Amino acid sequence: MSSISNSIAPSTKNVRMSKVLFAWFLAGIVMLLLGLGMVFVCIHFFPRIADEYFSPVFRRAAGETDWTFYVHPFILSFGLKWFWERYKGILKGGFLLRAIEVALVYGLVALLPILWLTFSAIDVSVKMTLTWFIYGILQAFAAGVVFAKLNP
């Protein structure tokens, strides 16, 4: 009997691990698409804010570093996935409520202090910093929805 349970346990663990990896990857993709959409919205509806990206404080796009921008949602997804697996037990309610809670925790604990520091150290406007705050909150919310649906 114990040999049967031993043989089942690793395969269950593998299935669970693959579900976690799938959720991480899917959340990364969703956040990437959301990010591109947010930049599109900024360019078309808030061009004066988008103009600020021409400021010298922003890195000039070059072939060797462009990939780092497109990888950032997967880095964020990795961190949020760890947080989800560790604390999902204390997040109660429906999937939307849990996703909102993840977004608020991320916004308050990570985004707010780091953007405060960014604003104090780098010549970026309040409006630009606010767009990043909203963008981060929405990204975390999207990741929360994916996690709550796939790994409740």
Partner 1 sequence: MQKVRLVLQPDFITNRPTLLQNDFMRTVFFILSFAFVVSAAFIKKSVPTYSMAKWVVERNSSLNIQGETNINSFQCDVTEYLKPDTLVYTKNDATKKLSFTNSCLSIDIKRFDCHNKYITEDFRSALKADKSPKLRIVFVTIEQFSNSSDNQLVKGTVDIQLADVTKRAEIAYRVKTMPGNQIQMNGSHVFSFSDFNLKAPRKLAGLIKTKDEIKVNFQLLFKAIP
Binding site for partner 1 (CB under 8 A): 36, 39, 43, 47, 50-56, 58-61, 65-70
d(CA 11, CA 21): 15
For partner 1, the closer of residues 128 and 148 by Cβ is: 128
DSSP per residue, 78-133 = HHHHHHHHHHGGG--SSHHHHHHHHHHHHIIIIIHHHHHHHHHHS---HHHHHHHH
Give me the least distance between CB of 78 and partner 1, in Å please: 20
For partner 1, the closer of residues 69 and 82 by Cβ is: 69
Give me the least distance between CB of 56 and partner 1, in Å please: 5
Give me the least distance between CB of 55 and partner 1, in Å please: 4
